Amino acid sequence: MEPDLADALRAYQGGAFPEERLRELVHRLRTDSAFREAFGDAVWILGLSRLAQAPEPRWTGLCEEMGWLNPGSAAGDPRGENPGAVEGFENLDRVLGEVRREPAPYVRAWWRRAAVLALAACLVLLAGLGWMWGGRQPDAAGGGLGDVVSAEGAVWENRSIRVGSEVRVGPLKLLRGNASIGFHSGVLLFVEGPADLEFRDSSRIWCGRGRLRLRVPPGAEGFVIDTPEGVVTDLGTELGVEIAPGRSTRLAVYEGKAEASLRVPGQGGVRTEVLGEKQGAELVGAQGVIRRMPIEELQGVGRIPMPGLRLAPGYREQVLEAGPVFYWRLDRVEGDQVAGETEGTPVLWKKGAVDFVEDTAGTRSAWFRGGALAVGEAVDFPGEKYAVECWLCAEPMSSGGVLGLAEDDRFQRHFGYVEFTNRLAGSGHGQASALRFLHRRPAGGGGGMNVLVPQPGLAYRWHHWVVQQDSGRLEVYQDGKRVGRAEAGSDPGGAGAPCWIQLGALRENLAGTKRMKNGSVLPVLERPFLGRMAEMAIYSRPLSEQEIRRHAQSRLP
């Protein structure tokens, strides 16, 4: 379960939390529709359980006492078929004020903070959002569900589709070749043709034939594939599915879990099987049986290819010409060390799961799968004028640290931080992917100025990024264009200060370690980055717009 959701549920049930943490949870409930839905489902189940056990209707009494329910409203309409029965969100402050001022007899003293959070959540959930109780948020008619993020030899029927094309509700037929489709929810679908598909909403597709591979990140569980023989439901996993018309549906779970189900012919029964990691099954619709099988029988479903980063010859020389202080191409490792491209660039050391692999263009890059790369000793950092440049191909995650600049080797006191995230404090952008650039002087564990750059469709694609700081002026560039800026104020005291550099995580968890299969012990990393990274360079000056544009345009089609 997502940590924020677990915390929200604990608070709802009476757990003690600092005021700052409660404010953070309430803010996310207000701005994150998917999080509200998950929280609402959980609260609904808890509410039914408590209603069945309670000796008296305390919750109903609280609502009536606070004037939450309108007189004569359909109090028995909790799922929102009558949205007008609940007063609007504009009454939130009044209700919360009443709860804080007069918590008894309806709210126990130990429960007070949890009640504030619960009421805020329920008002957000119910005021004008009754549709949420019926399932996932429906997509707007004709609205985009995602984008084609890669393709190889793909030929589509009756449509001109290319990399970057938007995928909408409706049928889609791939005659030959393969393609990867990234949903806005973070789900990645790889299709091998010939394949007949119909996209029904952001969490459900129908497939009449074809070979599919599905990768679902945490928080997007529940993706459904309907087939002629049955239904495959992801439970947080990477799985392969092969549909042969008139034969059967076969699936293999490579990571996580999935549920297979099919209706038994001639009756109303539905047979289900939950498959764990490295397990496979065949759905035989005509017989109404689910037969276990080795996953090796699904050899026809290939691995999801890594989108290629093809740079023009001489890109390395372009970067060196710009004069970086530190420069790592991130294309090779010797033992546990990654060497730099300039004499003064320190060696980076591996911490945990970081591989160096080729993509579909033949380019090698660092693939972060929960690990990090960090310097072994402090270096002299340029100070108040610097630029950071890199290429990123991120996978969806709640938050993942790209680069940390800190005064300590545990990265508890940052003065600079770059993060790929979909949790945007103060922005109200919900689940939109974004890059975050933080500047903080003096260095510490909180505060500072953030530049937040929300953009849909950032995941599963290579993008060129530059973040830079010029005496308090912060700028962010994506693919050669400036997309964010802020004024933080100048503090020249940081020039030449010792600095620790880390790629791929926010910091180490001081209270946690994990033991690997080979017996080694590694620290637990907070906010690990998931995805690939290449061509990381740090400069002692801001780059000009011409330099940034030139480097970004070095990517070949």
DSSP bridge pairs for 379: 499
pLDDT recorded at residue 91: 45
User: Which two three-digit tokens encode residue 27?
Assistant: 């803010």
What is this structure's pTM?
0.67
Say how many CA atoms lie within 13 Å of 310 toward its Cβ: 7
Question: Strand 204-215 to strand 224-226: parallel, antiparallel, or no bridges (unpaired)?
Answer: parallel
User: Which two three-digit tokens encode residue 481?
Assistant: 């264009």
Residues 218, 223, 225, 231, CA torsion sign: positive
Measure Cα distances from 381 to 286, 407, 431, 496, 549 in Å.
Answer: 68, 10, 34, 5, 25
Cα–Cα distance, 213 to 295 (Å, whole number): 13
Q: How many residues does the chain have?
A: 557
Q: Residue 35 is which amino acid?
A: F
User: What average pLDDT does this structure show over 189-209?
Assistant: 92
User: What average pLDDT does this structure show over 17-28?
Assistant: 75
pLDDT per position as a tens digit, 339-369: 999 999 999 999 989 999 998 889 999 999 8
pLDDT recorded at residue 61: 44
3-state secondary structure of 392: strand
Q: Which residues contact 389 (CB under 8 A, 6 or more apart)?
A: 319, 324, 464, 465, 466, 535, 536, 537, 538, 539, 543, 548, 551
User: What average pLDDT does this structure show over 532-557?
Assistant: 96
**Domains of the chain as residue ranges with CATH:** 3-134 (no CATH), 144-298 (2.60.120.1440), 315-552 (2.60.120.200)
| pLDDT exceeds cutoff 90 at 534 | yes
With a pLDDT cut of 90, the percent of the chain lying above it is 39
pLDDT recorded at residue 15: 67
10 Å Cβ neighbour count for 287?
A: 12
Q: Residue 297 is which amino acid?
A: E
Q: How confident is the model at residue 516 (pLDDT cuts 50, 70, 90)?
A: low
pLDDT recorded at residue 267: 74
pLDDT per position as a tens digit, 211-254: 999 988 877 889 999 998 889 999 888 999 999 877 789 999 99
DSSP bridge pairs for 147: 166, 182
Q: For the chain, give me the number of helices (H) and strands (E)?
A: 8, 30
Cα–Cα distance, 309 to 103 (Å, whole number): 59
Residue bearing tokens 């005291």? 493
CA angle centred on 164, ends 160 and 168, rounded to 5° = 70
pLDDT recorded at residue 424: 55
Q: Tell which phi-psi region holds residue 113, choosing left (phi > 0), alpha (psi between -120 and 50) or beta.
A: alpha
DSSP bridge pairs for 115: none
